[in-house]
Amino acid sequence: MAAASAFSSCSALRSGSVPLRRWRTLLLPAACSTSSPPRSAASDEATIISGTKLAEQVLKEVQRDVESWISFGNKRPHLTVILVGDNPASHTYVRNKIKAAAAVGISSEIILRPKDISQEELLDMTVKLNKDARVSGLLVQLPLPDHIDERTVCNTIAPEKDVDGFHIMNIGRLCLDQPSIIPATAAAVWEIIKRTGIQTLGKNVVVAGRSKHVGMPISMLLHTDGEHERPGGDATVTITHRHTPKEQLKIHTQLADIVIVAAGIPKLITTDMVKEGAAVIDVGINHIHDPLTGKTKLVGDVDFEEVKKKAGFITPVPGGVGPMTVAMLLKNTLIVAKKLIY
Ligand code: GUN
Contact 341, 179 (CB under 8 A): yes
- Mean pLDDT in each 10-residue stretch from start to end of the chain (342 residues)? 46 33 33 40 84 98 98 98 97 98 98 98 98 98 98 98 98 98 98 98 98 98 98 98 98 98 98 98 97 95 98 98 98 98 96
DSSP per residue, 73-120: TPPPPEEEEEEES--HHHHHHHHHHHHHHHHTT-EEEEEEE-TT--HH
Q: Give the type of residue at 93.
A: Y
Cα(81) to ligand 1 centroid in Å equals 11
Helix, coil or strand: residue 214: coil
Give the residue whose CA is nearest to atom 9 of ligand 1. 141
Q: Which residue, judged by its Cα, is nearest atom 11 of ligand 1? A: 142
Per-position DSSP letters for 174-185, written without gaps between them? HHTT---PPPHH
pLDDT confidence of residue 297: 96
Q: How far is the CA of 91 from the centre of ligand 1 (A)?
A: 11
pLDDT at 3: 38
SS3 (DSSP) at 19: coil
CA distance 292 to 192: 32
Instruction: Indicate whether residue 139 lines ligand 1 (CB < 6 A).
Output: yes
Going from the Cα of 142 to the center of ligand 1, the distance in angstroms, rounded, reads 5
CA angle 171, 3, 1 (to 5 degrees): 110
Sign of the CA dihedral running 220, 224, 228, 231: positive
257 lines ligand 1 (CB under 6 A): no
SS3 207: strand
Q: What pLDDT sits at residue 6?
A: 66
Given this model, what pLDDT does residue 44 score?
Answer: 85
* Alpha carbon distance 301, 214 (integer Å): 14
Q: From the CB of 162, is ligand 1 less than 6 Å away?
A: no
Residue nearest to atom 1 of ligand 1 (CA): 142
| pLDDT value of residue 115 | 98
